[in-house]
Structure 1
Amino acid sequence: MSKGIGGKNNWALFLLLLAGIVLGGFIGELTSGVAGLSWLNYGQSFGFSNPIVLNLGILVITFGLTIKITIASIVGVVLAIIIYRLL
């Protein structure tokens, strides 16, 4: 197992950050219709607007990536880091 600073597991941090991003994005989507909480879904999307297609004759590969960063996902990341430090 890979240990980070202070003997903590780096995979645990990665999984907590991933969970914070996913849960934060989910909460942002849920609160987008609520008048007082719609600001949580405010953010920016970036990535490929159209997927890149690689046609090799017998194999077609499609590449696409879009990342949406919202305030709720940033809050989720901050909470994940706080939980990681408390473990």
Structure 2
Amino acid sequence: MRGTKNGWTLLLLMLAGVVIGGFIGSIASSVPGLDWLNYGQAFGLENPLVLSMGLVVLTFGLTIKITIAGIIGIALAILIYRWI
């Protein structure tokens, strides 16, 4: 199974690493010695973009928060991908 690597596997592992890292960062924010894991920067649309077409109203919004725990999660996901 070592020869069956593809980009989708890497993408899914990286997304899982970001989600798990963000979860760990949010939990660690209340622990005094581990609050640095939740340090990061959020960027994106602060106010959602609303497109009203009478019958249909579409709302677009995207905010990404990158934390240290998320970066560690991405790094672990890449290491796991290389190990598989």
TM-score range (shorter-chain normalised) is over 0.9
Q: Deviations over 1:53-81 (max 9, x none)?
A: 00001000000000000000000000000
Q: Which residue of 2 is the match for residue 14 of structure 1?
A: 11
After the TM superposition, list the runs of 4 or more consecutive aligned residues in structure 1 that deviate by more than 2 angstroms: none
Q: Which residue of 1 aligns with 2:66?
A: 69
* Runs of at least 5 residues in structure 1 that lack an aligned partner in the other structure: 1-5
Deviation at 1:10, TM superposition (A): 1.2
Higher helix share: 1
Q: Distance in 2 between matches of 1:76 and 1:36?
A: 19
Counterpart secondary structure, 2:50: strand
- The TM-score with structure 2 as length reference comes to 0.94
CA shift for structure 1 position 9: 1.5
Q: What's the counterpart of residue 38 of structure 1?
A: 35
TM-superposed CA distance for 1:7, in Å, is 4.8
| Bigger RCO (CA 8 Å, 6+ sep) | 2
Which one-letter code corresponds to 1:28 in the other structure? Answer: G
Residues 25-71 of structure 1 show CA distances to partners (whole Å, capped at 9, x for unaligned) of 00000000000000000000000000000000100000000000000
Structure 2: 5+ residue runs without aligned partners?
none
1:24 aligns with 2:21: yes
